[in-house]
A = this chain, B = another copy of it.
């Protein structure tokens, strides 16, 4: 890849992700937690971490408040990921994952209430700070109070600043974003099935759904299908991309790794098939890492020659 132009990863609803290992989860009983692991999380942060691991010039923009907001900001500073969080009065959310053996039981807080004035301030910060960006990635959920049109508004602002925009969102956020004609959307099969009203269970179903996303305004649609890889559809080309080896591990964050590779490849104007091939290898290599927002570079190198691209 070429040297990275500036990329902005937006994380409107970051979290302190807390993990509680327990011996066994028994509903309606008390558990002594054997340890407490805590880490800054959120899809936008995962994208930024993978971009940084890829050597990209990535900055995080987001909303943060309270002690857990300060904790998220501190952790990014420690990781040397540049970040600017618009301060809000509410407290940044936490997620709790109870781990017992291979079982992960997750509790997601919705996030702090954001006021209209705070959202206005963010939009203004976003417009100022995406002036020099080549690429903007809009990922994940938004906290209460941020409108469903958030990603549509930010797509419009970023496009006016001359940036390419990738949206990785679901439901009404994605539906509205499509009306602003983002360059790339990257939902997973389950999410896009909800949007188009038809469950997406096969490769061809994913291609059909991706074409529907293009019909609604996206220039490129990538639909991820878990261990089965992803389909990527442009106005000219549809293909299914995957790796030939099954990687065991934690699939959380694999979609974020794919978004990061797509964002960097498009920002660098790398050849499209090379971008797709890197995306398949890096997202599968993210499964090999226990933490979302990281990938095993050796596994990615090992997978790369076995990536399959089927033209449809």
Contact = CB atoms under 8 A, between A and B. Distances in A.
Interface centre among A22, A66, A107 (most CB of B within 10 A): A107
Contacts of A26: 105
A173 to B, nearest CB: 15
A31 B103 contact: no
Interface in A106-148: 106-110
B25 A106 contact: no
One complex includes copies of this chain to the number of 2
A114 to B, nearest CB: 15
A197 interface: no
Residue of A26, A100, A106 with most partner-chain B CB within 10 A? A106
Nearest to A104: B28
Interface in A280-295: none
A93 B32 CA distance: 12
Interface string A31-60: 111001000000000000000000000000
A96 interface: yes
A68 B91 CA distance: 12
A30 B17 CA distance: 13
A107 B36 CA distance: 11
B98 A32 contact: no
Contact of A105 (B29, B93, B108): B29
A103 B30 CA distance: 11
A30 B108 CA distance: 7
Nearest to A31: B107
A107 B106 CA distance: 13
Interface of A: 20, 22, 25-33, 36, 66-68, 70-71, 93, 96, 98, 100, 103-110
5 contacts: A20-B96, A22-B107, A29-B106, A31-B108, A32-B108
Given A20-B109, A67-B67, 14 more contacts: A20-B96, A25-B27, A25-B105, A27-B27, A27-B100, A27-B103, A28-B104, A28-B105, A29-B105, A31-B105, A31-B108, A33-B107, A36-B109, A67-B71
Q: What 7 A-B pairs have minimum CB-CB distances, sorted nearest first?
A: A67-B67, A28-B103, A30-B106, A25-B27, A31-B107, A27-B105, A33-B109
